[in-house]
């Protein structure tokens, strides 16, 4: 039996902390249910205490074909108590994942989930729960945070929850990358002031918190760290010979199958205190300048879904321009430990690489913010030396009031003949992402925003989307020994102007995403997902490098045989993301709600307005027997010394993470 072989191999989002632990000083009042904690499974008892219960194993299987990855996640829950329970757990997934499958298995019985409008899915689940039937409900809390409830797990019973999703492989600086998030950093939730209530149309003035803060987070301190583990297996078919195959955070074992696919697995079970990241690189002679994939749709219209990756000009095509740079560094409590060390090293390196004709300033923030200089200054030896002294004295403590620092950075005017850049170093541990995205989109002007994700489990959703709205790029730094290489790559990008004013021309009627191609920097490709007629189609891409015009074209063929690679799901996910972006930039959260719902139902996808629900028709809990609720706490991210937010940050709340 599964339990006999791995009964205490704890898993992805966390594990058994203390089977008989009472919640700490943040406990709720008697007879009030405990809040849903991210990645947690807790039994709520009659005396208002809580007992942590085990998620006993997680198995992850990833198949990569070219630029599309298909991931299967199996999580096994056991009820070792004497009560029938309801398990509630939250877990991170990649922010661009198209989640399209849910299955619940109890012994030999399997129940396949169905996509429903969220309100209807909740109603079906609650009815099944009340009737004593086994049921599973999967909800999307954020683009990269999901929550699943499983009702009526009987004593000693094991439940398997199986989810699947598709995602695009990332390509940057000559490397293909795939990331699987496995733990969560708690988020700071700022209070909404009267000014912000008016500006962002908040409904209430009394202790108002932001609307996208919905699920609370709990992490496990190092001193009581259990072995939160999972297994990961990857089958990689890149379509070309490889020069390099590596994992930034974990030791891996690689081999080749009879079909030529690269098989990758972990040397040992993964302790889930850091994200899994896999990267690979083509041999120099086969390094791609153009990659396209196509999928014939199964709908009656017979359209084709296509994905195209096109490389922009290389370094020799660029000319360096003087820069006006504002560095913004997060020194809040969530950055304690290795994160602040990485951030300070990265910032110090960036300052040293400035040229005398460049202008710069530094803004450091926690629950307050401060600038090194009153205005931008030239990067001469004296000012750089002053900046290095300022960096050495930075300490991580306090809250994460990011908005005022961001606004100040974006308020600077761009001098004539300069390229205006804002470089943001943070773990992104905030809950008010949509508010920040709105500010970036509407106050960016001619500036460009670049995000540097710090730590072993940064908020990748915030990093990517902030860079997208800021028309810049993002970089992750997982460990201290990566600072030099990662920052050197970023700083080289920033020395050259982007490929700007990018436009596309198609020979047939095409719906593609993103609709507006972002500026591109050295080592970044043009990536498009399109729905087009099943006929030969030509795509032409053009843009400006400085004042020089650049263009390239792609011919996409007609497709004869249906092939389900997941491109249709990815296209739908990209369209939903585009519609959600309009909700953010316009400040109208209900805009396109029906369009998103209709598309998600048609493609059987999770979305903010649709959920998976699975119900077994058999009643397994007698009506006279009560049901108790449970959660599972997350493992503290590697390198973090923060056990909780400081008591001095009185406006702080622990809220959902990614």
In this predicted model, what pLDDT tens digit does every residue of 554-592 receive, in sequence order? 899 998 877 667 899 999 999 999 999 999 999 899 999
pLDDT at 18: 29
pLDDT at 76: 84
pLDDT at 22: 30
Picking from 221, 333, 332, 217, the residue whose alpha carbon sits closest to that of residue 654 is 217
CA quadruple 24, 28, 33, 38: dihedral positive or negative?
A: negative
Poorest-pLDDT segment among 66-70, 451-455, 627-631: 627-631
Query: What's the alpha-carbon Rg for the chain, to the nearest Å?
Result: 25
| Token pair for 226 | 């259990």
> Binning pLDDT at 50, 70 and 90, where does residue 115 land?
very high
Check pLDDT > 50 for residue 15. Answer: no
Mean pLDDT (whole number) for 92-112: 91
Check pLDDT > 90 for residue 656. Answer: no
pLDDT at 388: 97
Mean pLDDT (whole number) for 115-120: 97
With contact defined as beta carbons under 8 Å apart, do 112 and 58 qualify?
Answer: no
Sequence-separated (6 or more) residues with CB below 8 Å from residue 138: 99, 102, 113, 146, 147, 148, 163, 606, 611, 612, 613
Check pLDDT > 70 for residue 224. Answer: no
Secondary element (H or E) of residue 408: helix 402-411
Residues in the chain: 658
Specify the 3-state DSSP secondary structure of 627. strand
Chain segment 440-470, per-residue pLDDT in tens = 999 999 899 999 988 777 788 899 999 999 9
What is the average pLDDT value for the chain, to the nearest integer? 79
pLDDT at 158: 87
Specify the 3-state DSSP secondary structure of 492. helix
Model's pTM, two decimal places? Answer: 0.81
Chain segment 260-284, per-residue pLDDT in tens = 899 999 887 666 667 889 999 988 7
With contact defined as beta carbons under 8 Å apart, do 130 and 62 qualify?
Answer: no
With left for phi above 0 and alpha for psi between -120 and 50, is residue 48 left, alpha or beta? Answer: left
Total Cβ atoms within 10 A of residue 320: 11
Mean pLDDT (whole number) for 359-376: 96
Chain segment 187-199, per-residue pLDDT in tens = 556 655 444 444 4
| Token pair for 187 | 């988020």
Beta strands in 66-191 (DSSP E): 68-78, 84-92, 98-106, 109-112, 114-117, 133-142, 145-153, 158-168, 170-172, 175-180, 187-188
| Token pair for 126 | 């609650």
The CATH fold assigned to 320-494 is Rossmann fold (3.40.50)
Mean pLDDT (whole number) for 179-193: 64
Bridge partners for 528 per DSSP = 308
Domain limits, the chain? 2-254+606-655, 320-494
Picking from 169, 50, 18, the residue whose alpha carbon sits closest to that of residue 565 is 169
Check pLDDT > 70 for residue 318. Answer: no
């Amino acid at each position: 039996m599964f339990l006999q072989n791995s009964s205490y191999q704890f898993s992805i989002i966390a594990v058994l902390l203390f089977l008989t632990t009472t919640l700490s000083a943040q406990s709720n009042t008697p007879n009030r249910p405990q809040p849903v904690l991210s990645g947690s499974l807790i039994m709520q008892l009659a005396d208002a205490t809580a007992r942590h219960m085990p998620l006993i194993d997680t198995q992850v299987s990833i198949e990569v074909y070219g630029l599309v990855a298909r991931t299967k996640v199996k999580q096994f829950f056991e009820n070792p108590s004497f009560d029938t329970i309801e398990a509630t757990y939250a877990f991170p997934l990649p922010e661009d994942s198209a989640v399209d499958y849910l299955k619940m298995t109890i012994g030999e019985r399997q129940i396949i989930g169905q996509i429903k409008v969220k309100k209807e899915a909740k109603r079906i689940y609650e009815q099944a729960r009340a009737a004593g039937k086994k049921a599973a409900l999967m909800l999307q809390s954020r683009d990269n945070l999901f929550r699943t409830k499983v009702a009526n797990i009987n004593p000693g019973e094991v439940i398997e929850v199986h989810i699947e999703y598709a995602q695009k492989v990332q390509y940057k600086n000559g490397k293909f990358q795939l990331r699987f998030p496995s733990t969560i950093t708690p988020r700071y939730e700022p209070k909404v002031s009267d000014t912000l209530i008016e500006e962002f149309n908040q409904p209430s003035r009394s202790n108002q918190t932001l609307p996208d803060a919905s699920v609370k987070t709990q992490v496990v301190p190092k001193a009581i760290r259990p072995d939160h583990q999972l297994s990961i297996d990857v089958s990689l078919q890149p379509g070309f010979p490889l020069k390099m195959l590596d994992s930034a955070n974990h030791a891996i074992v690689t081999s080749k199958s009879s079909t030529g696919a690269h098989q990758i697995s972990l040397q040992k079970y993964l302790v889930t205190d850091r994200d899994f990241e896999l990267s690979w690189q083509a041999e120099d002679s086969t390094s791609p300048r153009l990659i396209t994939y196509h999928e014939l749709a199964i709908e009656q219209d017979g359209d084709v879904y296509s994905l195209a990756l096109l490389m922009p000009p290389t370094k020799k095509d660029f000319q360096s321009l003087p820069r006006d740079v504002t560095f913004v560094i997060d020194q809040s409590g969530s950055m304690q430990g290795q994160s602040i060390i990485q951030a300070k090293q990265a910032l110090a390196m960036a300052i040293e690489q400035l040229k005398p004709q460049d202008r710069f300033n530094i803004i450091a923030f926690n629950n307050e913010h401060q600038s090194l200089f009153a205005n931008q200054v030239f990067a001469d030896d004296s000012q750089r030396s002053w900046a290095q002294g300022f960096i050495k004295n930075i300490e991580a403590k306090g809250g994460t009031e990011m908005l005022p620092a961001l606004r100040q950075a974006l308020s600077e005017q761009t001098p004539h003949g300069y390229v205006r850049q804002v470089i943001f170093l943070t773990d992104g541990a905030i809950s008010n992402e949509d508010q920040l995205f709105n500010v970036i989109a509407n106050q960016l002007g001619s500036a460009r925003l670049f995000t540097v994700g710090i730590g072993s489990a940064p908020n990748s959703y915030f990093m990517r989307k902030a860079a997208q709205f800021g028309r810049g790029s993002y970089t992750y730094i997982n460990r201290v020994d990566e600072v030099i290489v990662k920052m050197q790559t970023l700083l080289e990008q920033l020395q050259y102007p982007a490929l700007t004013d990018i436009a596309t021309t198609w020979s047939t009627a095409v719906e593609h995403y993103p609709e507006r191609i972002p500026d591109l920097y050295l080592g970044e490709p043009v990536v498009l997902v399109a729905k087009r007629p099943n006929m030969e189609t030509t795509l032409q891409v053009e843009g400006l490098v400085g004042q020089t015009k650049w263009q390239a074209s792609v011919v996409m063929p007609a497709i004869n045989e249906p092939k389900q690679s997941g491109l249709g799901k990815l296209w739908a996910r990209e369209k939903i993301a585009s519609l959600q972006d309009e909700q953010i930039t316009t400040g109208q959260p209900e805009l396109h709600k029906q369009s998103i719902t209709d598309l998600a139902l048609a493609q059987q996808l999770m979305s903010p307005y649709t959920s998976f629900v699975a119900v077994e028709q058999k009643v397994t809990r007698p009506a006279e027997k009560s049901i108790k609720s449970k959660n599972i706490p997350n493992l503290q991210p590697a390198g973090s010394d923060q056990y909780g937010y400081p008591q001095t940050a009185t406006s702080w709340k622990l809220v959902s993470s990614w």
